[in-house]
Amino acid sequence: MLFLVVALLLLGAVLGTVAHAPLTFSVAAGLVVAVWLGVFAVRERYGRRRTTSTH
């Protein structure tokens, strides 16, 4: 429960900051995060295919 409260407080702080930032900065930051998540997803997908299971 405490984790949810902290997560919501952090989300509110981030959204409040984005609301006061210029639109171009918000879009650029969003694109950076989206690309980072895309690279992470691709690395996870292809990284798991190459590793062999030892079980």
- 20-44: string of b/e by CB count within 10 Å (b at 16+)? eeeeeeeeeeeeeeeeeeeeeeeee
pLDDT of residue 43: 93
pLDDT (tens place) for every residue of the chain, 55 residues total: 888 989 988 888 888 888 888 989 989 988 999 999 999 999 999 887 765 556 6
**Rg from Cα positions in the chain:** 17
Taking the model in full, what pTM does it have?
A: 0.58
